[in-house]
Structure 1
Amino acid sequence: MTLELRQDGRGTLRAETLLVLALSLGASAVSSLISFIGALTRPGGLKDQAATLNGSYAPGRPWLDLAWQLFGIATALVPVLLVAHLLTREGVPGLRALGLDRSRPGRDLARGALVAAGIGSAGLAFYLAARASGFNLTVVPEALPDVWWKFPVLILSAVQNSVVEEVIVLAYLLRRLDQLGWSPRASLLASSLLRGSYHLYQGVGGFVGNAVMGAVFVLLYRRWGRVGPLVVAHTLLDVVAFGGYALLAGKVGWLPTPPH
């Protein structure tokens, strides 16, 4: 009887994990794969095609566009709320159990800033090399209209991306895989490969670069036991990428822009 209950519990955790991924980044991975196949089979090289991260939903209609932007950011966070709910039902204090709280703000910010500085410089160099080699699309971090809400929306988008990815594909997934008896190495591979897969729409470089970043994040999460610093790091990386592109695109020669 005890064995049956244990097996039933593992089956429930496995099904729960698959459903959470199917509602969030697992679905994004499938969508990214389809997008990558489309880019590969389209005439022309990958670097002559563009992958836009933050685009307009209603060109020429700024207030409607803003409404869609905020709607998209809010609904993308729903799977995180689901994870918090599931953890609470498990008997732990929601996202605090993953280390996403305000108990150590100074340390989380400092660690996150250091991680972002290291990964950001290496990541930019890797992207430029991958694109020049023809393994990556031209990534367009933002293509929003020049309106008053442009930068606030980009910051909100960066926060949303970081919270969703680090809570689900890092902290939550590792917790569930540990409970299912996966080895640390297998969990690291699963988390980092999943992270790479939903960036495949950017090209092979996007897959490899994000998979490596995912492996680093897994090791740091295991060491610190908190996802907070990694949410900070990811947020800073995206804020710099989105805002930097908005300010520099077309003004510096080293930053790739879409072919006209």
Structure 2
Amino acid sequence: MRGWLAPQRPGRVAVLTDPRERRLAATEILVVLTVTLGLRALSSGLSLIEAALQPVPLNEQQVALNAPASRNELVDLAFQLVRVLQLVGWGVLGAYLLVRAGFALRAVGLDAKRPGKDAVWAAGMAALIGIPGLGLYLVARALGVSLTIAPSLLTDTWWRIPVLVASSAANAWAEEVVLLGYLLTRLRQLGWSENRALVLQAVVRGAYHLYQGLGGFVGNLVMGLVYGRFWQRTNRLWVLVLGHTLIDVVAFVGYAVLAGKVGWP
């Protein structure tokens, strides 16, 4: 176990030594985080502060992860698809900048050379994070430090399930490509230690979910540490994209299908 927890020495990532290249790489990282998950993390933190200032306890307030954006069914569908495309765009931006920096996508584990093994590992990683994550949420809510999370409030339309699946995949693609494939690779080029980079991306991931309460922050911080170390050790990004997708599909679709039919905490 100790060997697994220890970071693996990264290979084939040359540390940038030219001062101008280092400045440009650092600036690029700041720009990417600003327009994607980093700025959303700040907004998420403000949402938590606003919720904490309300007279109603946190665990009596509800936050919806997939909420209607319009009363018109087709307009709502358009809004949901735009959100999905935005997340896909974030991940594509990270992948594109890696290619521009001289990295093939297979270098970060975005290839199809072992789909079977990747699928098995993805299911295992989903279970490893998803099951304890549910328990953490219930504990945090009982302690009053987490909002009540409604994974989906979308109405029962013909497009609800496909959109929830697409949203799950888009969330996973954006977070894992930007925070793991892109950010950790670029930080390696700047000479950051594996542990230091691991903690930074995990904190950003956790902060991005602060709108859910402290339970969301801690749960996603832990997820970032586990997923980040897995990627540092294996370099298989598809495993984590698929695993994250499975977690969200179970949460989003499961809630949408079972809400009102079973008791929810």
TM more than 0.5: yes
Residue from 184, 187, 192 that aligns with 2:197: 187
1: CA distance, partners of 2:154 / 2:97: 36
2: CA distance, partners of 1:207 / 1:56: 24
- The DSSP-based 3-state class of the residue aligned with 1:134 is coil
Q: 1:167: which partner in 2?
A: 177
Deviation at 1:58, TM superposition (A): 0.8
2: CA distance, partners of 1:161 / 1:154: 10
One-letter code of the match for 2:93?
Answer: L
Q: 2:66: which partner in 1?
A: 54
User: What do residues 133-182 of structure 1 show as CA deviations (whole Å, max 9, x unaligned)?
Assistant: 10100011000011000000000000000000000012211111111111
Q: Which moved more, 1:173-182 or 1:154-163?
A: 173-182
TM-score (norm 2): 0.91
One-letter code of the match for 1:250?
Answer: G
Deviation at 1:242, TM superposition (A): 0.3
2: CA distance, partners of 1:96 / 1:217: 18
Q: 2:74: which partner in 1?
A: 63
Deviation at 1:84, TM superposition (A): 2.3
Residue from 126, 134, 154 that aligns with 2:144: 134
Q: 1:41: which partner in 2?
A: 53
Instruction: Kindly indicate whether the alpha-carbon contact (under 8 Å) linking 2:87 and 2:173 is maintained by their aligned counterparts in 1.
Output: no
Q: 1:150: which partner in 2?
A: 160
2: CA distance, partners of 1:162 / 1:120: 13
- The DSSP-based 3-state class of the residue aligned with 2:63 is strand
Q: 2:28: which partner in 1?
A: 16
Deviation at 1:19, TM superposition (A): 0.5
Instruction: Kindly indicate whether the alpha-carbon contact (under 8 Å) linking 2:161 and 2:253 is maintained by their aligned counterparts in 1.
Output: yes
One-letter code of the match for 2:142?
Answer: A
Q: How does 1:94-109 map to 2 (within 5 A)?
A: 95-109=105-119
One-letter code of the match for 1:137?
Answer: L
Deviation at 1:16, TM superposition (A): 0.4
Q: 1:252: which partner in 2?
A: 262
TM-score (norm 1): 0.93
Q: 1:196: which partner in 2?
A: 206
1: CA distance, partners of 2:145 / 2:78: 35
The answer to whether residue 88 in structure 2 is matched with residue 77 in structure 1 is yes
Q: 2:230: which partner in 1?
A: 220
Instruction: Kindly indicate whether the alpha-carbon contact (under 8 Å) linking 2:91 and 2:175 is maintained by their aligned counterparts in 1.
Output: no
Q: 1:178: which partner in 2?
A: 188
Deviation at 1:5, TM superposition (A): 6.8
User: What do residues 52-105 of structure 1 show as CA deviations (whole Å, max 9, x unaligned)?
Assistant: 11011112x111111111112112222222222222222222x33321222221
The answer to whether residue 255 in structure 2 is matched with residue 236 in structure 1 is no
One-letter code of the match for 2:147?
Answer: L
Alpha-carbon RMSD across the aligned residues, in angstroms, is: 1.3
User: What do residues 216-241 of structure 1 show as CA deviations (whole Å, max 9, x unaligned)?
Assistant: 00111111111110001100000000
Percent identity reads 48
One-letter code of the match for 1:54?
Answer: N
CA 1:247–1:5: 2 relative to 1, 3 Å: closer
User: What do residues 163-207 of structure 1 show as CA deviations (whole Å, max 9, x unaligned)?
Assistant: 000000122111111111111111111011111001000001110
Instruction: Kindly indicate whether the alpha-carbon contact (under 8 Å) linking 2:95 and 2:182 is maintained by their aligned counterparts in 1.
Output: no
Deviation at 1:24, TM superposition (A): 0.4
- The DSSP-based 3-state class of the residue aligned with 1:51 is strand
2: CA distance, partners of 1:8 / 1:39: 43
The answer to whether residue 110 in structure 2 is matched with residue 110 in structure 1 is no
Residue from 27, 44, 51 that aligns with 1:32: 44
- The DSSP-based 3-state class of the residue aligned with 1:181 is coil
Q: How many residues align?
A: 250
Deviation at 1:118, TM superposition (A): 1.9
